[in-house]
Amino acid sequence: MPTEVTTAVIGGTGLTQLEGLTLVEDRTVETPYGPPSSPLHLGLYVGRPVVFLARHGQDHRYPPHLVNYRANIWALHQLGIRRVIAVAAVGGIHAELGPAALAVPDQIIDYTWGRAHTFSEEGRVLHADCTEPYDGALRDALIAAAARAQVAVMPNGIYAVMQGPRLETAAEIRKLRAEGCTMVGMTAMPEAALARELGLAYATLAVSVNWAAGLGPAGSDIHGDIAASLSAGMDKVRAVLREVL
Ligand code: HPA
């Protein structure tokens, strides 16, 4: 790389490559936890050095419960990354989070189970402080970038992380809403906690691609919503990324 690279973008569903990234190097790395989901794509985006990693693999081969989150975060840390912008497709629960709306959540509730979720092990006891699971400065930077790009973004919200890969039942979404959740996805945990364990600043740029189960207009179907809104939502995501980087 021409300059030191300290910022990474982890792309999720709908963002398996970063259009506009001038690739400098594809780095295949190994970690104590196995290989990350994809090679690390080192390059320049709007003239800034950045690393891009496809969370589900470039060919979208890893469903949310099988993503090697530890390898992904370890590999980025090993490369010297200090900031991680995680792009995540979610279902909207809050009335303002209809398809193609963006949010920068400030809280997470983790409903996942059985995932390799920590770097802590015997002899290495870690109790990461997750009171504020997201980095405040990075969240502020995303919110300011969205304003400059004239992209509306909900500046907070509680991201419910479900195990997946199935979508939720309507009753599950009613329960999540009663518990205060504003959006639902499948990847923010353990990703955010692992980043915290290694001291990486981490924030999510969430893009709603559907109304969460049971909240859409009568007759709507979630996969139809996703197909219809993913590309509009990702255009907005790219506009924010251009500004923030
Ligand atoms: N539920 C969970 N994860 C999701 C959804 C959803 O409705 N949409 C996109 N990711």
Q: Is residue 23 part of a domain?
A: yes
For ligand 1, what atom is nearest to the CA of residue 92? 7
Residue 184 pLDDT grade (very low, low, confident, very high; cuts 50, 70, 90): very high
| Mean pLDDT (whole number) for 214-228 | 87
**pLDDT recorded at residue 243:** 95
Q: Is residue 1 part of a domain?
A: no
Q: Is residue 2 part of a domain?
A: no
Neighbours of 62 (CB within 10 A): 17
Q: Is residue 224 part of a domain?
A: yes
User: Mean pLDDT score of the chain, rounded to an integer?
Assistant: 95
Q: How far is the CA of 130 from the centre of ligand 1 (A)?
A: 23
Specify the pTM: 0.96
Q: Is residue 192 part of a domain?
A: yes
Please give the structure tokens belonging to residue 167.
């979508």
pLDDT tens string 41-80: 999 999 999 999 999 998 889 999 999 999 999 999 999 9
**101: domain CATH number?**
3.40.50.1580
Q: Is residue 235 part of a domain?
A: yes
**pLDDT recorded at residue 1:** 54
Nearest CA to ligand 1 atom 3: 185
Q: Is residue 212 part of a domain?
A: yes
**pLDDT recorded at residue 121:** 93
- With a 6 Å cutoff on the Cβ, whether 42 touches ligand 1 is no
| Count: domains in the chain | 1
Tell me: pLDDT of 111 over 70: yes
For ligand 1, what atom is nearest to the CA of residue 167? 1
**pLDDT recorded at residue 227:** 85
**pLDDT recorded at residue 3:** 62
CA distance 145 to 155: 12
Residue 4 pLDDT grade (very low, low, confident, very high; cuts 50, 70, 90): confident
| Range(s) of the domain holding residue 135 | 7-244
3-state SS of the chain is CCCCCCEEEEECCCCCCCCCCEEEEEECCCCCCCCCCCCEEEEEECCEEEEEEECCCCCCCCCHHHCCHHHHHHHHHHCCCCEEEEEEEEEECCCCCCCCCEECCCEEEECCCCCCCCCCECCECCCCCCCCCCCHHHHHHHHHHHHHCCCCEECCCEEEECCCCCCCCHHHHHHHHHCCCCEEECCHHHHHHHHHHCCCEEEEEEEEEEECCCCCCCCCCHHHHHHHHHHHHHHHHHHHHHHHC
